Amino acid sequence: MRGPPHGRESRGPSTPAPQLSARRPVRRSGRLHHGRPRAGGPPRVSAAATVHGTLHGPGYSGAGGIGAAYSLPGGQAFADAFHTYAVDWAPDAITWSVDGTVYQRRTPADLGGRSWVFNKPFFLILNLAVGGHWPGDPDGSTSFPAQLVVDSVSVTTSDTPTGGAIRGLAGKCVDVAGAGPANGTPVQLYGCNGTPAQQWTPAADGTLRALGKCLDVTDHGTADGSTVQLWDCTGGPNQKWVVSPAHDIVSPQADKCLDVTGNNPANGTRLQIWTCTGGANQKWTVG
């Protein structure tokens, strides 16, 4: 997606601004913004190197929205090239990213006791807005007409949003240790118990997701013994997996298989990647 190519004092979203507006009743509604570039100092669309993602809801609307900003490296301008803006929306968690780089994740814990109104159906709106209190009014130096160019819009979902178990060695399951949602939580083998920590959803982008995050090879490792963990979904190659007809779960980046360390069936055995051997500790049934 790419916004207006030039101009001074253009207002509102100058690159695509998908926003999700909750269905009525309005008093319980929310809104989610992604894509409001604004430069420091006098806003210039051609100089806009920062994008903003924001939650708006009851008690945190308007100027009280909860959000974060992301800047392109090297002072690049968003309007100078197409970029991929993504919102990963899961129950009780929303993650924003630009070109695969996650810059914000929000959960009900960020709202200070205010209502989380995003676990319901939403509309997707793309618009180019001009004016408003946030950036100010256009003036004589504003370039019109402005153009919003959208290359594509993609909405993906899963038919089984709660996911399913991944069963392996000794009939045990791929498990997020302690059901911890924090980045870096180890992923292990554990007796199947049906909890959310063992519910994995294969997503259309090749990721395996649980607790709103992705199965991730630690530090982008490709060597035998590189461990796997839970991490914010970034779109990186260390989070891509292919389930083969032979029941291997393969990391294409490393060309290695998801592996139970030491062929040990004990609860808590850490999972890793290893050269594919065809052994029982690398065989998995997904779902």
pLDDT digits (tens, 9 = 90+) for 157-178: 654 445 789 999 999 999 999 9
What is the C-alpha to C-alpha distance for residues 242 and 236, in angstroms, rounded to an integer? 14
Token readout for 70 is 């992301």
Average pLDDT, the chain: 79
Mean pLDDT of 197-225: 92
What is the C-alpha to C-alpha distance for residues 146 and 142, in angstroms, rounded to an integer? 9
Q: Which residue has the higher pLDDT, 147 or 41?
A: 147
- Asked if omega into 43 is within 30° of 0 (cis), the reply is no
What is the C-alpha to C-alpha distance for residues 22 and 121, in angstroms, rounded to an integer? 7
Tell me if 254 sits within 8 A of 134, measured CB to CB: no
- Asked if omega into 58 is within 30° of 0 (cis), the reply is no
Token readout for 97 is 């990213």
Kindly report the length of the chain.
287
Q: Which residues contact 182 (CB under 8 A, 6 or more apart)?
A: 230
What is the C-alpha to C-alpha distance for residues 271 and 287, in angstroms, rounded to an integer? 18
Instruction: Provide the pLDDT for residue 87.
Output: 84
The pTM of the whole model exceeds 0.75: no
Instruction: Provide the pLDDT for residue 85.
Output: 82
Token readout for 153 is 């819009």
Mean pLDDT of 80-109: 82
* Residue pointed to by tokens 């803006």: 85
**194, exposed or middle or buried, with CB in 10 Å at 0-12, 13-18, 19+?**
exposed
Mean pLDDT of 32-48: 40
Domains of the chain: 1-155 (2.60.120.200), 166-286 (2.80.10.50)
Mean pLDDT of 242-259: 95
pLDDT in tens, 228-247: 999 999 889 999 999 998 99
Tell me if 127 sits within 8 A of 17, measured CB to CB: yes
